[in-house]
Amino acid sequence: MNKSKLERCPPIDAEIYGRLSERVGRCHMDLRLGIEHDRESWIFGQGRSFFHIENWYSIHGLIRFALRLFLLHGRGQDNARRILIRHNEFDIIGLPVAFDGFKLLHLTDLHLDAADDIVDAHIDALNRVGDYDICVMTGDYRNKTFGPYQRTLEAMSRVREKIAAPVYAVLGNHDTIRMASGMEDLGIRMLLNEAVPIERCGATIWLAGIDDAHYYRAENLEKATDPIPAEGISILLSHSPEMYRHAFYARFDAMLSGHTHGGQICLPGGIPLMLNARAPRSFCNGPWRYHGLQGYTSPGSGTCIVDVRLNCPPEITVHTLRKIQ
Q: What's the average model confidence in pLDDT over 99-109? A: 98
What does the pLDDT read at residue 40?
78
Beta-carbon contacts of 252 under 8 Å, excluding residues fewer than 6 positions away, are: 208, 234, 235, 236, 293
AA letter at 51: F
Residue 287 and residue 299 in contact, taking contact as beta carbons nearer than 8 Å: no
pTM check: above 0.85: yes
Q: Tell me: the pLDDT tens digits for 130-162?
A: 999 999 999 999 998 888 899 999 999 999 999
| Mean of all residue pLDDT scores within the chain | 90
pLDDT tens digits for 21-59?
Answer: 999 999 999 989 998 888 777 766 554 444 455 555 556
Digit-coded pLDDT (tens) for 215-260: 888 999 999 999 999 999 999 999 999 999 999 999 999 999 999 9
Residue 118 has pLDDT above 50, yes or no: yes
Split at pLDDT 50, 70, 90, the class of 11 is confident
CATH top-level class of 73-324: alpha beta
C-alpha closest to that of 235 among 210, 261, 258, 208: 208
- Rounded Cα distance between 126 and 122, Å, is 6
Query: Which tens digit of pLDDT belongs to each residue from 176-227?
Result: 999 999 999 999 999 999 999 999 999 999 999 999 999 888 999 999 999 9
Greater model confidence, 95 or 12: 95
